[in-house]
Amino acid sequence: MCKETGCCKNKCVCRKIRNGLLIIGGINWGLVGIGMLMSSNWNVVNLLLGQWPVVEAIVYILVGIAAIMKIFGCKCNKCVVGCCSGVSSSEGQNM
């Protein structure tokens, strides 16, 4: 039903940022593992931000916070109400 109505297109901004950070973190850790097997440094965050260790640490902290948010879920109104929750009470009673 969601794919037909398109009601899930309006996700909250926090969820979009969280998903982006999780993708960045996942790809980075995958590359770190491959780099370790090849005896080289493929840590992209470190290669890009190694000159600024504080900024690099902030990126790692943000990825960690994104993972915690994924575990516990977002508590904003858009996410709490949920996707396709626009079912009226009369439709719910007929089931």
Q: Which two tokens stand for residue 15?
A: 């969820």
- Each domain of the chain, given as residue ranges in start order, spans 11-93
Given this model, what pLDDT does residue 76 score? 79
pLDDT one-digit tens code per residue, 16-40: 999 999 999 999 999 999 999 999 9
Helix boundaries (H) for 38-88: 44-49, 53-72, 77-81
Measured CA to CA, the distance from residue 5 to residue 7 in angstroms comes to 5
pTM for the full model? Answer: 0.70
pLDDT one-digit tens code per residue, 45-56: 999 999 999 999
- Percent of the chain at pLDDT > 90 equals 57
Given this model, what pLDDT does residue 90 score? 45
